[in-house]
Structure 1
Amino acid sequence: MSVRRVVPNVRSEAVPESREFYGLLGFEEVMNHGWIMTLASPSHPAAQVSFMTEDATAPVAPDMSVEVDDVDAAYAAMRESGAEIVHPLRDEEWGVRRFFVRDPNGQVVNVLGHR
């Protein structure tokens, strides 16, 4: 299994203002579902930050997202380790397969793969 990208998820009630602010640093909007917006660097597309008001299908908003090439293997590894699964593995309507797990620091990590 390999990591494709890591994205901090910032809880925000100022999403449009965040787009403007980070735009001054060169970020551009690459995704916006209304409840989550992702900005990326045009020159380094894996350099991203997301701003979210809530999570559309999960009970909590994650602190970061980690995209992996095999989300099922990641889920099996986390379950086998005894890590706390906060949101079970599921296919989302926007084209990702994901689960949430709590890290040793109490942070909620959204582990995902694109279908």
Structure 2
Amino acid sequence: MAVRRIKPNILSDDFEGSRRFYRDLIGLDGGDGLDWILFFRGDVREVGLSVTRLDVEAGVHADVSIEVDDLDDVFARCTAAGAEIVYPITDEPWGLRRFFVRDPNGAVINVTQHHE
């Protein structure tokens, strides 16, 4: 199992302000997305962040997204260890398979894998 990317998710209701800040002031590319999430990126895929409203499918904000190459393995290890699953494994219509798990500090982690 390998981690492919880690990306912070910033909760916001001010998408225009976020676009101005992250694109115009910080210098990231992007600022596009869906009606509830904006994606910003650097020159390489591994550098990026998301600005989100409350997650429309899960109904909870995920603090961090971690992309892995074997979601089932990570899910099995989390459940075997008794970690709190906040949102079950779901195949989302935008091409991600994911689940949310709470870390020991209370942060919600969005564990994702792209559909192959």
- Give the TM-score normalised by structure 1: 0.94
- Give the RMSD, CA atoms, in angstroms: 1.2
Q: How does 1:7-46 map to 2 (within 5 A)?
A: 7-23=7-23, 24-29=25-30, 31-41=32-42, 43-46=43-46
Question: How far did 1:34 drift?
Answer: 1.1
Total equivalences in the alignment: 114
Which runs of no fewer than 5 residues in structure 2 stay unpaired? none
User: Which runs of 5 or more residues in structure 1 are unaligned?
Assistant: none
**Where does 1:22-101 land on structure 2 (aligned, <5 Å)?**
22-23=22-23, 24-29=25-30, 31-41=32-42, 43-101=43-101
1:50 partner SS? strand
Runs of 4+ aligned structure 1 residues displaced above 6 Å come to none
Deviation per residue, 1:57-94 (Å, 9 max, x gap)? 10211111000011111111111111000000010000
1:101 partner letter: V
What's the offset of the Cα at 1:54?
1.2
> Contact 2:19–2:31 (CA<8 Å) still a contact in 1?
no
Give the residue type in structure 2 aligned to 1:28. Answer: D
